[in-house]
Amino acid sequence: MRVLLAGATGVIGTEVRRQLIDAGHEVTGIARTATPRATLGVDLLDRDAVLHAVDGLEFDAVIHQATALRRAPLAARHLTTTNRLRTEGTSTLLAVARETGAAKFVTASAFFGYGFSDHGPQPIDETEAFGQHDDPVQLALLSNEQQVRAAGGSALRYGFVYGTGSSPVVAAGWNGVLPYVHVVDAASAAVAALTRAKAGQAYNIANDQSATWRELQEASAIAAGEPMPRAVAPWLLRTSAPFAAELIAETSMTLSMAKAKRELRWTPQFATYAEGLASQVDVSSPA
């Protein structure tokens, strides 16, 4: 299958590219700067330039993994360009799919579209309300999914994507749990969705064990041989990093992956974050 991969130089995109090639697909990467992994160097927010870049090309599928994030966002303003990539960028990539004949479309989404609150102990499935908060981040996630699903594509609602390494601080005094997914498993879900996703569907993608942010970060530090992260009070985190606080100090949820396992026939290679960290898969310096 000929695949156009947007965000081919990102952490997930790099792994998606590797797995696609291993599966026998022909991959053309697109990113803001041309590299060996992204031969099309063009800004997805420049619609005319993107359409010009793909003029005369043909693809069978498009995978949208593009963000503008180099590190975890601390405030909503750090997601401004990523929000545009999930709205304007998605629209442009759908136009590319139409122009190049691509019948398949898979887009990355995120678990926090379910809302920043304590959702209780019961696993959330894909029927839960999504993108209903009136803020730019939620609205961008909703726009991304609505556009893609209306066009017959599929959306992957990733848990926190992790590899090795730790955050410099963790929130103390909050026991809410969050869903996580290793970058290898996030990528394998995209590859599975390429051929198995049903038109217009969304899928939760995470490992089988939720955990607190502190548990993950302390385990990450141990696995990477780094100092233990410094604990800060939730009120201080809300002041210095309000978006991060909404996620790690105010949100608690567990995701159900039954639909992805059933329809995509996808199962995480690393069922728990401990297994993923113990694997020592290096995603910090992709080749």
Sequential DSSP letters for 63-89: EE-----SS--SSGGGGHHHHHHHHHH
Write down the mean pLDDT value for the chain: 90
Q: Alpha-carbon distance 173 to 137, whole Å?
A: 26
Q: Name the least confident of 34-43, 93-102, 240-249, 255-264.
A: 240-249
C-alpha to C-alpha distance for 109 and 119, rounded to whole angstroms: 19
Angle (CA) 215 219 222, round 5°: 145
**157 backbone dihedrals φ, ψ, rounded to 5°:** -90, 90
62 residue type, one letter: V
Burial of residue 3, with CB atoms counted within 10 A of its CB: 0-12 exposed, 13-18 middle, 19 or more buried: buried
End-to-end CA separation in angstroms for the chain: 23
Q: 249 Cβ partners below 8 Å, 6+ apart?
A: 171, 174, 176, 213, 234, 237, 238
pLDDT score recorded for residue 283: 46
Count of beta carbons in the 10 Å neighbourhood of residue 208: 15
CB 264 within 8 A of CB 192: yes
The mean pLDDT of 252-280, rounded to a whole number, is 94
- In this model, does residue 91 exceed pLDDT 50? yes
- State the pTM of this model: 0.93
- Assigned fold of 2-278: Rossmann fold (3.40.50)
Which one-letter amino acid corresponds to residue 95? Answer: A
Give the three-class secondary structure for 57: coil
Using pLDDT thresholds of 50, 70 and 90, give the confidence band for residue 132: confident
Considering only residues 8 and 230, tell me which one the structure prediction assigns the higher pLDDT.
8
E strands of 94-210, at which residues? 104-110, 154-158, 160-162, 169-171, 180-182, 202-205
pLDDT at 131: 93
Q: Which of 181, 282, 170 is nearest to 233 (CA)?
A: 170
Compute the distance between CA of residue 258 and CA of residue 23 in angstroms, rounded to an integer: 24
Strands 40-41 and 61-64: unpaired
d(CA 287, CA 138): 33
Give the per-residue pLDDT at 83: 94
Query: Where do the domains of the chain lie?
Result: 2-278
User: H helices then E strands: how many in the chain?
Assistant: 10, 11
With a pLDDT cut of 90, the percent of the chain lying above it is 68
